[in-house]
Amino acid sequence: MSGERARILVVDDEKVIRDSCTRILTTEGHIIKSAENGNIGLEVFREFHPDLVLVDLKMPGKSGMDVLEEIESIDPNVVQIVITGYATVSSAVDAMKRGAYDFIPKPFTPEEILLIVGRGLEKRRLLLESEALKVEHERIRRNMISLVSHELRAPLAATVQYLEVILGGMAGEIPSEAKEMIVRCDIRLQEMLELLRKWLNLATFDSPKMAEHFQDISLSDIATESIELMKSLAEEKKISLILETSKDLPPIKGSKVSLEEIFNNLISNAIKYNKAGGWVKVILYGREEEVWVEISDNGSGIDEEHLSRIFDEFYRVDGRRNAPIKGSGLGLSIVKKMVDAHGGMIDVESKFGEGTTFRIGFPKFFQRQKEG
């Protein structure tokens, strides 16, 4: 941006400083606006969207340091330059430690301010280019993921359909041994499709975009639907499913699809890693500003050495290829990302051979902080 026309805001209580900066910088073709105090400066900042701001540290009313902090919270890519008198040089150094790019002491010459502003605008140009590259790289990454996923899913899904046609007898009788092998192939291909689904879900997960569509969600309804969905799996393993929910449990702001994914994943894991005749208990309750979910089981449990890594991508407690229970190691990573996207927290307690409890706390009133 150095050498290009830029938008510059000058915030200083001295009219002579504002006028001097305006006169010097407009000769370079820049667009200048000024404000005589911090409050007005912030109002102008929000409307003007400058590339660079010059802020006097010592002003009546809102201090220059407070102005810099608010500007940083609104747009961290704006370059901040501090105007300071001799007596406040130490404060200028403090401001630079907090993110200001540079400072210029009073009185200054036209050459000094042009030099420092020029360097600041070059910094701004590099910041904007970096942000643009990040956006472009993310766009390319998501496009590649979608392309690869489609190219992998399409032939797998077609193969599964052909196998199901054969297993349905539409292609004629097949020997029992061949049928058994086809069934195994079908199961493995279904596992691969599920792995691709989870991988795509994790790789393309966009929490800010999802938060834009949050609505009031009843966790009691989500838990009830999930338990109903898992009932056949539980009956197959002779597992009891128990739901306990507080009366008048308040809704939370969230995504129904994502919350379903959280409950389905944790409840299905509690069933799969359980023993015949075991139980899975889902408890919902409100406490202060949060709604809490506890999903417990009396199954195989997890060794303490594994607990710190269970939310890592592709990490499995039983990592053997021939492990009795198949899994991708992605489910809990997805759960963690989705809980974080709702402003929640998740932890786990487990004792090997005795069972596991996952606890999730969701805020009743969640508003995502604006990023960048």
Interval 142-187: pLDDT, tens:
777 777 777 777 888 888 888 888 888 887 888 888 888 898 888 8
What's the one-letter identity of residue 152? L
pLDDT at 332: 87
Q: Output the six-digit token pair for 302.
A: 């997890």
User: Cα dist. 191→185, 203, 226, 297, 327 in Å?
Assistant: 10, 18, 21, 25, 8
pLDDT at 229: 93
pLDDT at 58: 83
Long-range contacts of 1-5 (CB under 8 A, 24+ apart): 1/51, 1/121, 1/122, 1/124, 1/125, 1/128, 2/118, 2/119, 2/121, 2/122, 2/125, 3/118, 4/121, 4/125, 5/29, 5/30, 5/31
Q: Output the six-digit token pair for 64.
A: 């220059």
pLDDT at 322: 42
Cut 0.75: pTM above it: no
Show the low-confidence residues of the chain (pLDDT under 50).
Answer: 319-327, 369-372
Q: What SS3 class is residue 353?
A: coil
Q: Residue 208 in contact with residue 248, Cβ under 8 Å? A: no
Task: Write the pLDDT tens digit of every residue in 84-123.
Answer: 875 566 777 777 877 788 888 888 899 999 999 999 999 9
- Rounded CA gap, 6 and 23, in Å? 15
- Rounded CA gap, 56 and 12, in Å? 5
- Rounded CA gap, 44 and 34, in Å? 8
Q: What SS3 class is residue 157?
A: helix
pLDDT at 319: 42
pLDDT at 203: 65
pLDDT at 304: 84
- Rounded CA gap, 189 and 157, in Å? 8
Q: Output the six-digit token pair for 178.
A: 């061949």
End-to-end CA distance of the chain: 20
Distance, CA of 243 to chain centre: 30
Q: Residue 279 in contact with residue 240, Cβ under 8 Å? A: yes
pLDDT at 314: 59
pLDDT at 324: 44
